[in-house]
Structure 1
Amino acid sequence: MAESSGTTHRAARLELDERVARELRDRLPLVAGRTITAITAEVPSYSGALTGQMRDKIENAVQIALGTFLQLLERCQATDPSTPLIPALEAAYTLGSGEARAGRSMDALLAAYRVGARVSWREMAAATVAIGLPAATVAEFAELMFAYIDELSAASVAGHADELASVGRARQRNLERLTQQLLAGEPEDVLRRSAERADWAVPKTLTVVLLPRANLRGVLALLDERTLEGSEESSAGEPGEETAVVLVPDAHGDRRQLARVLHGRRAVLGPARPWIRASSSYRRVTRAVELGIAHPADGEPLDTERHLAELLLSADLEALADLRVRVLQPLAALPAATAERLTETLRSWLLHQGRRDDVAADLFVHPQTVRYRMGQLRQLYGERLSDPRTLLDLTVALALPATPPTG
């Protein structure tokens, strides 16, 4: 708290003699009691709260506040005239922070200050007039008293704001910890405790999304307020661009709506999973990024649900490479260019289920060229091109472009 204020400086100009100060102080219990009665009658939030021991505590606090005010006006002051005010401002600050911890806004407390100021002044004014203070002194007394109440109100507002900020920072840290645990796949009991600690309402599902952090703010404004966010080392955007990871609650009901929110954001969209299995959705999107699957040209997000075959086949790239070598063994002795053309034709023939015209359109060649190449392949493979197991192996091996094995 500041060691000096406008109230203390003005109080130095309005000194009360000992007799007046004593008579005003004698009236403090009566003033405090009437102030609390007025607050409970006029401020709904406190109508049932200020009873029993709580009422006694508040009455005592009001007496202390008014007593501090009177100390400012007495002639026997310490060298530092702000000293009596410091405890009162600290108490007001604590009162404001307590309201925040109780989950209440400042509206009720500020209303209580206004009622308290009005009632206190009415009682004190009656006393000052009865004592015989000059009208000018009474007016100065009133102005000073309301300035004092304003300082107490300001201290309470500061306490309330600081407490909210502190609570907000603590909750944000808890949410960040929960996000990390979800992505890491921590056990359910750990996740539930962290969700409770973060005061986070548990959803049915979570859908993980990766997107450039530069696009994050606009997306969060359109998503459920329970959406969690974190940072991601890999990049879903341009090289060197920081990436954010977002966990969207209960998006399983309308995936198209989520896709619309993410349109044009260069996002990678994972599957919806039960919230305790969010790490599964996270692994899916990071795998899609690692594979370098291209974003759609129309601005739609890269939806991993549309690339399940690529994701599945890339689960063991070394096994896929071995399978490819084995099924293409009949082409091994051919010149590289010829083997590449026949491999391309065989892949298209498998995907188009042998429809010659469709294969020709896919390869931009004449249908007769397709017929010629397939004749070569039948000579090389023989009856194996009619064997279901061989066709399965060929389809799987050629489903993706050739990829070097990892490891």
Structure 2
Amino acid sequence: MATSSAAPSGRTRSFRRSPVCIWPAKPGRRATRLTKACGHDRGARPIPSLGEATGMTTEPSDRTIILHLLRGAVPERADEISGLWSQYGHAVEVAPSAKGVTMNADAKRIQFDTKTIDFFWLLGFSAWRAIEVYLPALLLATSRGMPLDQALNVDAERGQYEFDYKQRIASAQSLVAAEQTADITWPADIPEPTPDRESLGDNQQKAAFDLVAFALTFALLHEFQHVMFCADKSAPSTLPEEEIACDTYARDFMTSGLAAYAKKHGHDYAEVHQKRAMGTALAAVIIHAMTPTHAHWGNRQYPPIAERLIAMIGGYSLPADSRFWLFTACLLIALMRQENRPLDIIANSNQEMVEILLDRLR
């Protein structure tokens, strides 16, 4: 199994720096339990299968497990996804873990390896901590009309928090180059993958669990659109256009029809929409990290990564005070800082900050 080490600073930190809670103290119905595919790549999977979790005597196939993940994450479209799953009859193939990232699809199958699923977990839980690093400066900048770079400099505590954050992100990115998860040092303050949400230590970890589940759902829906394009011979004329179309499909599948679902089940529409959008924003950051630096500007196969970020994050019709804007701004600030880009940005709201940051990432 992956080894653990002390946190980079030699201590495990809480979220005490964050002056507001990004997530309700009692999150609503969870998206789903992460599947057995979230287990570390160490031969036999240690995580209970869906069959064990539900009392089934026969372990379900990987294809069934992924279908349950999608149905649980987007319950208002559960029957639709089951029908499509049956119609296209594609396989779900868990490949042996290898260097790089394995998540792809063709007309006959969706393929991934457990190391890539671990990458979603590790980077997702690590990126969640962007809130504690950049929220104080973000609030200072937007409340006082101060340039963001100046607000970051005013935050005297940021240095150690940011150093630790970058160390966690580096650990996650080292997983891409590794043969298997066991080859890296797993950060001590990031829980190892588990399908049991309730076993996590606090509400912050449970919130991260939910968002990682949504991020993984987004990625799998993206791959499923590739399956449908290939099977129907209906793909856009270029591969970069197909990638954007798959991103758009996944986002729309996760967010359309929410109003009727929320009303029927007594949920607050804005809260449900916000949570799905936050999961998609996290997926965007994970996909950014999965994309080699040399491909960030686009090539024959992929569009520029900034175009994908805009397709996934831009244009949400959420209220200006939605936590989505705050969370996404922190994620994008982290990306800009990792790439040493200037942050001489003046914005009067978190939403405006997100819009400017997306434009700067082009």
TM-score (norm 2): 0.25
Higher percent of residues as helix: 1
Q: Which has the higher contact order (CA 8 A, sep 6+)?
A: 2
The structure whose Rg is larger is 1
